[in-house]
Amino acid sequence: MVKFLKPNKAVILLQGRYAGRKAVIVKSFDDGTRERAYGHCLVAGIKKYPGKVIRKDSAKKTAKKSRVKAFVKLVNYQHLMPTRYTLDVDLKDVVSADSLQSKDKKVTACKETKKRLEERFKTG
């Protein structure tokens, strides 16, 4: 079978807390691991999308509406819907499987992911 769930592929989550949210594959585990014996992948996604900015908004309000909230998660392949799009933001050095082991590592990974996604949003 052709491997199409590659890193930087944009996907939509179908199940769980972030169902319907867009995410990007950071790393895929086709054969599974000892803890998770099924095919899954590490994704970083957008928990809260930026709002619509209009011309009459102040700079402060525009900055607030341009904010993004991010999440990092391991997801089963069955709960993903791949899209034809890829994202050119490199998250591999920020997010890793061991960043999910402790709370503070996960928080720092989410903050760095948030920063990179916001930067990409502002560049257009």
Lay out the sheet containing 69-76: strands in order across. 69-76, 40-48, 22-29, 9-13, 80-86
CA distance 75 to 14: 10
pLDDT tens for 12-41 read 999 999 999 999 999 998 888 888 899 899
Q: Collapsing DSSP states into helix, strand and coil, what is residue 122? A: helix
Compute the average pLDDT of residues 67-80: 93
CA distance 8 to 26: 6
Whether pLDDT at 4 is above 80: no
